[in-house]
């Protein structure tokens, strides 16, 4: 019995030692979750950390976004909306009351100009007109006599030549009168004048005045410059690489000086050639007149490219690290040591067009993320946890 008890005791001690060694050998396995090595594209956070970082998820959307070109240019006026005014026959400035900036209408008197030649033209016209009346009567009379075979053809030809010469003279003098601003229809022997009214050819405002009272002006002198600012256009300069990004009908927002108010324009024409500096011109019509806009002003313009339906996320959902762009996607929920954790997967993407707080996301080829839960708020907290895994990640 004593031997048997001894054997039992030895067996029990051996069993206890074996069990002790087994427990000691299992301790590293029990502690493994605390030193778990996560894949490089995974970030995990506790529930309380998620609440503290205010992490929110959403889904990738299909949105219509515009790409925007930033360009510079100047405000210009179409040739038909600006005028340089001269006096075709010259003369002395007798009077004017206009200053730069004055608004004027078409036909309004700009200045009164005096010239002795004006009198001569009017006199010659009236004399030629009177002679033409007599010559016309003679022409008709001789034509009737010739038809009745009373008058010779030679005499009729002579009268016809005199009549047509006078007719040509009267018509040419009429054009000279119109050129200096005198209406031939209203001119007669009692209203010959040495002065004429220089009138505005368009409606607009005076941009410059280059005369003084008593000054003699030549036919080539520019006396007034007039601009109609109701129909302005932008002359924008673009680089040749952007030639395929603009087209007629596109909308433009532009700014003048340091104003924050945006003005609107629409592209009406694009340049058809590239200049030596590898740029080309784009012309846009200002759609809404503004008193602050004047020809010659420099502008900063934003041209919206054609709208495209693209995959997009809020811009804050995309983070940058080491010159690459990433998004975070919910991967799974898990529990460790009785505590809930959430894992997020880090996915490399490429940025596209950005507009109104949303950015186009170019996803990796073959990825299926249409139903994925994407982190749209708090992505930078996850990035920080990834970069400082020892501090923020568990």
CA distances from 210 to 92, 101, 217 (A): 13, 13, 10
What span, in angstroms and rounded, lies between the C-alpha atoms of 373 and 59? 5
Output the six-digit token pair for 64.
């219509």
H helices, E strands: number in the chain: 5, 23
In terms of C-beta density within 10 A (0-12 exposed, 13-18 middle, 19 or more buried), how is residue 153 classed? Answer: exposed
- pLDDT tens string 219-267: 999 999 999 877 888 999 998 888 888 888 888 888 887 777 888 888 8
Report in angstroms the alpha-carbon separations of 50 from 23, 285, 341, 365, 382.
36, 52, 9, 30, 9
Domain membership flag for residue 6:
no
Tokens of 261: 């108010």
Between helix 116-147 and helix 153-180 the angle, nearest 10°, is 150
Q: Is residue 216 part of a domain?
A: no
Residues 261 and 277 in one domain: yes
In a domain, 149, yes or no: yes
Predicted pLDDT at 36: 64
> What is the Cα Rg of the chain in Å?
46
Same domain, yes or no: 299 and 238: yes
Could you tell me if residue 215 is inside a domain?
A: no
Q: What is the CATH number of the domain that holds 243?
A: 2.40.30.170
- CATH number assigned to the domain comprising residue 52: 2.40.420.20
- Cβ burial, residue 45 (10 Å; 0-12/13-18/19+): buried
Distance from C-alpha of 353 to C-alpha of 227, rounded to nearest angstrom = 40
Instruction: Find out whether 119 and 194 touch, Cβ atoms under 8 Å.
Output: yes
- Domain membership flag for residue 31: no
Which positions of the chain have pLDDT values less than 70?
1-36, 150-151, 305-308, 389-394
Please tell me the predicted confidence (pLDDT) of residue 352: 82
Single out the residue in 252, 273, 307 at which a domain terminates.
Answer: 307
Say whether both 120 and 173 belong to one domain: yes
The Cα–Cα gap between 318 and 354 comes to 12
Decide if 115 contacts 194 (C-beta within 8 A): yes
Structure tokens at 186: 């209203």
CA distance to 29, 92, 347, per residue, from 271 (Å): 74, 44, 43
Residues 284 and 321 in one domain: no
Strands 339-355 and 358-362, sheet pairing: antiparallel
pLDDT the model gives residue 293: 80
| Percentage of residues of the chain with pLDDT beyond 90 | 34
Is there a single domain that holds both residue 275 and residue 287?
yes
- Total tally of structural domains belonging to the chain: 3
- The 3-state secondary structure of 124-149 reads HHHHHHHHHHHHHHHHHHHHHHHHCC
Quick check: 68 and 305 in contact, CB under 8 A?
Answer: yes
Predicted confidence at residue 45, as pLDDT, reads 87
For residues 289 and 323, state if they share a domain: no
* Closest to 319 in 3D by CA, of 53, 49, 62: 53
Q: Look at residues 307, 342, 374 and tell me which one is the last residue of a structural domain.
A: 307
Q: Are residues 316 and 380 in the same domain?
A: yes
Residue 302 and residue 318 in one domain:
no
DSSP state string for 194-232: SEEEEE-SSSEEEEEE---TT-EE-TT---EEEE-TTSE
Is residue 266 located within the same domain as residue 295?
yes
At 288 the three-state DSSP class reads coil
CATH code where residue 156 lies: 1.10.287
Q: What is the pLDDT of residue 17?
A: 40
pLDDT single digits (tens) 258-274: 777 888 888 888 888 88
Domain that residue 282 falls in: 69-79+228-307
Phi, psi at residue 211, to the nearest 5°? -135, 160
Q: How far apart are the C-alpha atoms of 298 and 310, rounded to whole Å?
A: 34
Pair 264, 314 in one domain: no
- Domain shared by 321 and 283, yes or no: no
Backbone angle region of 233, left / alpha / beta, with phi > 0 → left and psi within -120 to 50 → alpha:
beta
- Rounded Cα gap, residues 102 and 207, in angstroms: 8
Nearest to 291 by CA among 317, 333, 261, 320: 261
Q: Within a domain: residue 184? A: yes
Q: Do 340 and 281 belong to one domain?
A: no
Confidence (pLDDT) at 34: 54
Residue 240 confidence (pLDDT): 85
Residues forming a β-bridge with 336? 339
In a domain, 350, yes or no: yes
Beta bridge partners of 224: 85, 209
Q: Is residue 220 part of a domain?
A: no
Final residue before a domain boundary, out of 193, 210, 240: 193
CA distances from 255 to 29, 237, 250, 302 (A): 68, 15, 17, 9
């Amino acid at each position: 019995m004593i031997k048997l008890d001894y054997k039992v005791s030895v067996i029990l001690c051996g069993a206890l030692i074996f069990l002790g060694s087994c427990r000691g050998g299992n301790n590293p396995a029990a502690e493994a979750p605390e030193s778990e090595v996560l894949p490089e594209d995974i970030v995990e956070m506790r529930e309380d950390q998620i609440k503290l970082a205010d992490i929110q998820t959403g889904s990738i959307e299909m949105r219509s976004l515009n790409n925007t070109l930033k360009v510079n240019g100047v405000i210009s006026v179409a040739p038909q909306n600006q005028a340089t005014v001269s006096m075709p026959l010259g003369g002395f400035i007798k009077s004017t009351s206009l200053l730069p900036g004055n608004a004027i209408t078409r036909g309004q008197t700009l200045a009164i100009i005096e010239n002795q030649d004006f009198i001569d033209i009017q006199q010659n016209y009236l004399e030629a007109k009177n002679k033409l009346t007599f010559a016309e009567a003679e022409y008709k009379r001789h034509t009737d006599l010739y038809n009745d075979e009373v008058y010779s053809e030679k005499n009729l030809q002579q009268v016809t030549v005199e009549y047509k010469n006078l007719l040509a003279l009267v018509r040419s003098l009429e054009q000279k009168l119109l050129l200096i601003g005198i209406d031939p229809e209203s001119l007669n022997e009692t209203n010959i004048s040495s002065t004429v009214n220089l009138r505005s050819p368009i409606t607009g405002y005076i941009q410059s005045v280059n005369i003084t009272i008593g000054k003699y002006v030549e036919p080539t002198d520019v006396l007034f410059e007039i601009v109609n600012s109701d129909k302005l256009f932008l002359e924008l300069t673009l680089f040749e690489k952007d030639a395929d990004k603009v087209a007629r009908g596109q909308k433009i927002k532009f700014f003048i000086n340091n104003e924050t108010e945006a003005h609107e324009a629409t592209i009406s024409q694009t340049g058809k050639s590239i200049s030596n500096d590898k740029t080309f011109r784009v012309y846009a019509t200002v759609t809404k007149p503004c008193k602050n806009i004047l020809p010659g002003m420099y502008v900063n313009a934003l041209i919206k490219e054609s709208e495209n339906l693209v995959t997009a996320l809020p811009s804050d959902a995309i983070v940058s690290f080491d010159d690459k762009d990433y998004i975070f996607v919910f991967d799974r929920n898990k529990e460790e040591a009785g505590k809930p954790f959430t894992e997020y997967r880090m996915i490399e993407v490429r940025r596209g067009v950005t507009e109104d707080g949303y950015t186009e996301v170019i996803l990796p080829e073959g990825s299926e993320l249409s139903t994925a839960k994407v982190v749209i708020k708090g992505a930078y907290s996850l990035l920080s946890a990834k970069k400082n895994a020892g501090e923020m990640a568990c």
